[in-house]
């Protein structure tokens, strides 16, 4: 459960919205989780990109589509988005999504990203095709 501004949001609902937002995203390759920043819970998305989309990836377009879908479907703003290499999203030994591992990887900047975006009080702070976070 992700609690943002006193409202409960189910991560799996947000993940479905994200996966449907752009053709470049891998099906069943998304993790939605919360992080605390400035005393508030914020939404972060980690999503795998399809291998076939890596070469011509337009990270800005994918991020815009994700943000738009999440706002329209759930009425919450996304704080950060990390687009990942295919099959690098943390999963359990049984193949289930490991949100806590994705959250930890985000906080430690160890996720294998191909593009990262993070909102700040001044607006978006970066968009790049380099590993690591903003």
Over residues 4-48, the pLDDT tens digits come to: 988 999 999 999 999 999 999 999 999 999 999 989 999 999 999
Residue 128 has pLDDT above 60, yes or no: no
All structural domains of the chain = 2-128 (3.30.300.30)
Residue 1 has pLDDT above 70, yes or no: yes
Tell me the CA distances in angstroms from 13 to 23, 70, 71, one per residue in order: 18, 10, 13
- The string of DSSP letters for 96-110 reads -B-HHHHHHHHHTT-
Q: What is the pLDDT of residue 22?
A: 97
CB 62 within 8 A of CB 115: yes
């Amino acid at each position: 459960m992700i609690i943002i501004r006193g409202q409960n949001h189910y991560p799996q609902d947000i993940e479905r919205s994200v996966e449907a937002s752009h053709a470049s995203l891998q099906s069943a390759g998304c993790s939605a989780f919360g992080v605390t920043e400035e005393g508030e819970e914020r939404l972060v998305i980690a999503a795998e990109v399809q291998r076939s989309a890596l070469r011509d990836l337009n990270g800005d377009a994918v991020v815009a589509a994700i943000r738009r879908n999440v706002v329209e479907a759930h009425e919450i703003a996304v704080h950060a988005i990390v687009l990942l290499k295919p099959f690098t999203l943390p999963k359990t030994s049984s193949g289930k999504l490991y949100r806590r591992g994705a959250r930890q990887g985000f906080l430690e900047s160890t996720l294998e990203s191909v593009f990262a975006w993070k909102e700040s009080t001044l607006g978006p702070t970066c968009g790049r095709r380099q590993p690591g976070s903003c």
